[in-house]
Amino acid sequence: MIEEQQQKFNLRKIISSKFTDFKKKTKSGFTLIEMMIVLLIISILVLLFIPNLSKQKDTVSDQGDEAIVKVVETQIEIYEINNNKKITDSALKDLVTSEQYKVYKKYNN
């Protein structure tokens, strides 16, 4: 009888320790609410930074195009000084690259 009670006690002790271990393991993660809050914060930050990056890209592109226009205008001035005449479109196409010509025409029409 005492032996049987001892076994039951040991069994309860084992079950109790397993249950306690299980409770500890389940408490170690994040809750769904915490994860949702983190995702919300990340989403807000992304929404704030993406438009800013897009504006920066447009600004850099415009500045690059302005620099190309200045280079082409400088080439035109050099041509006119060296040849004592106004430059023609065909001469300009020969003088600069096709990309430079496209950008120049885009901003000077």
Asked if the structure places residue 24 within a domain, the reply is no
Asked if the structure places residue 13 within a domain, the reply is no
For the chain, the domain total comes to 1
Asked if the structure places residue 78 within a domain, the reply is yes
Pairwise pLDDT comparison (82 vs 10), residue with the higher score: 82
- HEC string of 64-76? HHHHHHHHHHHHH
Q: What is the pLDDT of residues 48-94, one digit of tens each?
A: 888 888 888 888 999 999 999 999 999 999 999 999 999 988 899 89
What is the pLDDT, as a whole number, of residue 17? Answer: 72
Asked if the structure places residue 66 within a domain, the reply is yes
Residue 26: pLDDT band with limits 50, 70, 90: low
Asked if the structure places residue 98 within a domain, the reply is yes
Asked if the structure places residue 43 within a domain, the reply is yes
Asked if the structure places residue 17 within a domain, the reply is no
Asked if the structure places residue 35 within a domain, the reply is yes
For residue 90, the enclosing domain spans: 30-107
The answer to whether residues 103 and 68 touch, using CB atoms and an 8 Å cutoff, is yes
